[in-house]
Amino acid sequence: MSGSAWMLGACGMGVGPLALYLKGDGWEVSGWDDATGSPMELQLANGEVPLLRDPWAAGRRPTVVGRSSAVKPGHPALTLAEGHGVRTLRRGELLAEAVAGRRFVAVCGSHGKTTTCGLLVAALASAGADFGYVLGGLFRDPTFPPARASAASPWVVAEVDESDGTIGAFSPDVTVAVNLDWDHPDYYRDEAALEAVFRALFERTRSAVVIPAGNKRLERLVAGLKVPVIRVGEEGDYSCRLVQGGHASSVVALGGRFRAGQFNLPVAGTFNRSNASLALAVTHFITGGLVAEPLARWRGIRRRQDVLFERTGLRVLADYAHHPTEIAALLQWVRETHAGRLVVVFQPHRHTRTRQYAREFRDALAVADHALVLPVYSAGEAAVEGGGSDAIVAGSAHRLVDDRRGLPALLDALAEGADMVVAFVGAGDIERDAEAYAKVLRRRGEGVLTADLPDLVAGRLSAGCVLRANEPLARRTTLGLGGAARWYAEPASVDDLVTLLRAAAELDLRWFVLGRGSNLLVPDEGYDGLILHLDAARWGAVTDLGEGRFRVGGGTRLKELCGVAARAGRAGFEFLEGIPGTVGGSLRMNAGAMGGWIFDVVESIEWLTPQGRVRAARRDCFDALYRDCPQLHGAVVLSAVLRSPAAEDPAVIRGRMDEMAARRRASQPREASAGCVFRNPEGDKAGRLIDASGLKGRAVGPVSVSPTHANFLVNAGDAKAADFLALMREVRAEVKARQGVELQPEIVALGREWKELL
Q: What is the pLDDT of residues 498-541, one digit of tens each?
A: 999 888 877 778 899 998 888 899 999 999 899 999 998 999 99
Residues 466-501 as b/e (b if ≥16 CB within 10 A, e otherwise) read ebeeebebbebbbbbbbbbbbbbbbbbeeebbbbbb
Strand order in the sheet with 261-265: 147-148, 132-134, 155-159, 103-108, 174-177, 208-212, 229-233, 238-245, 250-256, 261-265
Confidence of residue 443 (pLDDT cuts 50, 70, 90): low
Sheet holding 699-700, edge to edge: 699-700, 703-705, 713-715
Backbone phi and psi for residue 314, each to the nearest 5 degrees, phi listed first: -150, 130
pLDDT over 70 at 247, yes or no? no
- Higher-pLDDT residue of 626 and 386 is 386
Q: With a cut of 70, say whether residue 446 has pLDDT above it.
A: no
For the chain, the structural domain boundaries read 4-91, 101-287, 306-443, 453-533, 537-664, 671-757
- Whether residue 346 has pLDDT greater than 90: yes
| Percentage of residues of the chain with pLDDT beyond 70 | 96
CATH 3.40.50.720 fits 4-91, yes or no: yes
**Strand ranges of the sheet holding 549-553, from the earlier edge strand across to the other edge:** 542-546, 549-553, 636-643, 602-608, 614-618
The dihedrals phi and psi of 695, each to the nearest 5 degrees, come to -105, -5
Q: Tell me which DSSP letter residue 18 carries.
A: H
pTM: 0.64
**Which of the pair, 25 or 757, is modelled with greater confidence?**
25
CB 203 within 8 A of CB 175: no
Going by C-alpha positions, the residue among 238, 222, 248 that lies closest to residue 279 is: 238
Burial class (CB in 10 A: 0-12, 13-18, 19+), 396: middle
Q: Cα 200–204–210 angle (5° rounding)?
A: 90
Cα distances (Å, whole numbers) of residue 259 to 93, 241, 263, 288: 38, 13, 11, 10
First to last CA, the chain: 46
Confidence of residue 408 (pLDDT cuts 50, 70, 90): confident
For residue 415, pLDDT beyond 90? no
Let me know: does 176 contact 222? Beta carbons within 8 Å.
no
For residue range 665-706, list pLDDT tens digits in order: 888 898 999 989 999 998 899 999 999 999 999 999 999 999
Residue 135 has pLDDT above 60, yes or no: yes
101-287 homologous superfamily: Mur-like, catalytic domain (3.40.1190.10)
Cβ within 8 Å of residue 127, ≥6 positions away: 283, 287, 289, 290, 291, 294
Tens digits of residue pLDDT in 7-56: 998 988 889 999 999 999 999 999 988 776 677 887 887 788 888 888 88
Residue 731 has pLDDT above 50, yes or no: yes
Residue 280: band (very low, low, confident or very high) from pLDDT cuts 50, 70, 90: very high
Query: Are the CB atoms for 619 and 640 separated by under 8 Å?
Result: no
Lowest model confidence (mean pLDDT) among 422-426, 444-448, 586-590, 750-754: 444-448
Distance, CA of 732 to CA of 690 (rounded, Å): 9
Domain range 671-757, CATH architecture: Alpha-Beta Complex (3.90)
Q: What pLDDT was estimated at residue 447? A: 46
What percent of the chain has a predicted confidence (pLDDT) above 90? 45
Q: What is the pLDDT of residue 449?
A: 44
- Compute φ and ψ for 174, nearest 5 degrees: -130, 135
Measured between alpha carbons, how far is residue 560 from residues 302, 490, 599 in Å? 43, 20, 18
Q: What is the mean pLDDT of residues 444-448?
A: 53
Identify the bridge partners of residue 492 per DSSP, sorted by sequence position.
Answer: none
Averaged pLDDT, 382-389: 89
State whether CATH 3.30.43.10 applies to domain 453-533: yes
What is the band of 448 on the pLDDT scale with cuts at 50, 70, 90? very low
- Give the class (CATH, top level) of 537-664: alpha beta
**544-600 pLDDT tens trace:** 999 999 999 999 988 888 889 999 999 888 888 777 788 888 888 887 776 778 888
Give the pLDDT band (50/70/90) at residue 629: confident
Report the CATH fold assignment for 306-443.
Answer: Protein-Tyrosine Phosphatase; Chain A (3.90.190)
